[in-house]
Amino acid sequence: MSDSTRRTFLKVAAAATAASNAHILGANDRIRIGGIGTGGRGQYLLSILSKLPGNEIAAVCDVYAPHRAQARHDSAPDARETGDFHEILDDKSIDAVVIAAPDHWHVPLVMAAVAAGKDVYVEKPVTHSMDEGPALQKAVDESGRIVQVGMQQRSWPHYFEAKALIEAGELGEITSIRTYWYQNHLHRGAGGAGIDVSKLDWKMWLGNAPERPFDERRYTQWRWFWDYGGGALTDLFAHWVDVVHWTMHCDTPSTAVALGTNWALPDWECPDTINAAFEYPGKFDVSYDGSLIGYREGGGMSYRGTKAMLRLHRNGYWLYPEMPRYSENPDTDVPAKTAKSQRDGTIDHMENFLDCVRSRKAPNAPVAAGIAAARAGQLGNIAMREKHVVQYPA
């Protein structure tokens, strides 16, 4: 897509009729929510909302009829179904939307939603390209709406604790942060279960992406094709680099380098194996390594400081003081401090969103944080695809 075409598309989305919420929410009012994009992640988010008090899932929208029917069946039996998101945005009785559509739809949907007076919970990465960031930030700022980006670590209790350890100086000076994520996608390489194309609005699904005939592989595995997603650096690394930005109070790398190859999944466009590095000027370096051929070690990060090392995962953290002497023993000793996660932080993140819709306070993961996290991954993708060191700003 050309820059001019993208700009035109964003202007059209932003030009949706502006409207305020239908009523001012009181303490006992239920927040009426519409779900836009009800595939696997969207269904999970709606299932969480269905168990949280003070909200009602009023409508579900997806371009694939079986997806929206499943979401309604599992989480919102009284909700109405639609294949057109405009019907949700035009409904003044709906206060907020949860967006879990493919990445290339995030900015158009968020901009249209805030222009229509809706608060928004949107999955990460909030942008699909770097040039979308300024227009999105401006639209959200001018609308006064609440926008929470789905970077749930910012609401996870043990991540708050880890952040406090870092800010208290317990690690000393931090110069190196390693992030990684290993998953096994080999069984997904050829696509997913059969799709009934007669129940899919393929043209709507493509949106601002280039027109092409239906391709089941692209539809079911869209994260790994550049027109719709950004591969591991915007899907996985975005979570970890956001934690880095949040805990280190620095959100913009000056330099990015990256290598990536499709060794095991050649039918995908985005690489299955990546090594990337980012320099935050005068601060620290961040690395990311990952592959999609095996689950061992999962995903996580480690901070290396002059006083201690911190291992941080979704299931907890472990703080190890610096050793008195050099050792090549791969086994770590007993941590000085540790914490375990009690539940999926997405639940806390959705609770924070609902609280902010009522209070109008800033959410834990505002749109600016989402733009910054996406930007880091997008810089890495540019370095990888163009095979050169990227300086930012150029």
Q: Is 3-154+347-365 assigned to CATH 1.25.40.10?
A: no
Give me the residue spans of the domains in the chain: 3-154+347-365, 156-201+216-343+376-391
pLDDT at 63: 98
Per-residue pLDDT at 193: 59
Query: Is the CB of residue 116 less than 8 Å from the CB of residue 87?
Result: no
Q: Give the pLDDT score at 238.
A: 98
Distance in angstroms (rounded) separating the CA atoms of residues 186 and 242: 27
Q: Please give the Cα distance from 382 to 47 (Å, whole number).
A: 36
Q: What share of the chain is helix, strand, coil (3-state, %, to 5)?
A: 40, 20, 40
Structure token digits, residue 31: 């927040």
For the chain, what is the radius of gyration of the CA atoms? Answer: 21
Which superfamily does CATH assign the domain made up of 156-201+216-343+376-391 to?
Answer: Dihydrodipicolinate Reductase; domain 2 (3.30.360.10)
pLDDT of residue 385: 98
Please report, in tens digits, the pLDDT of each residue of the chain (394 residues total): 445 444 444 444 444 434 444 445 655 589 999 999 999 999 999 999 999 999 999 999 999 999 999 999 999 999 999 999 999 999 999 999 999 999 999 999 999 999 999 999 999 999 999 999 999 999 999 999 999 999 999 999 999 999 999 999 999 999 999 999 999 999 874 444 589 999 999 999 999 999 999 999 999 999 999 999 999 999 999 999 999 999 999 999 999 999 999 999 999 999 999 999 999 998 899 999 999 999 999 999 999 999 999 999 999 999 999 998 998 887 778 899 999 999 999 999 999 999 999 999 999 999 999 999 999 999 999 999 999 999 999 8
**Distance from the Cα of residue 10 to its chain's centroid:** 20
Lookup result for tokens 């079986």: 66
What is the model's pLDDT at position 28? 59
- Per-residue burial over 251-290, b if 16 or more Cβ lie within 10 Å, else e, is bebebbbbebeeebbeebbbbbbbbbbbbbeebbbbebbb
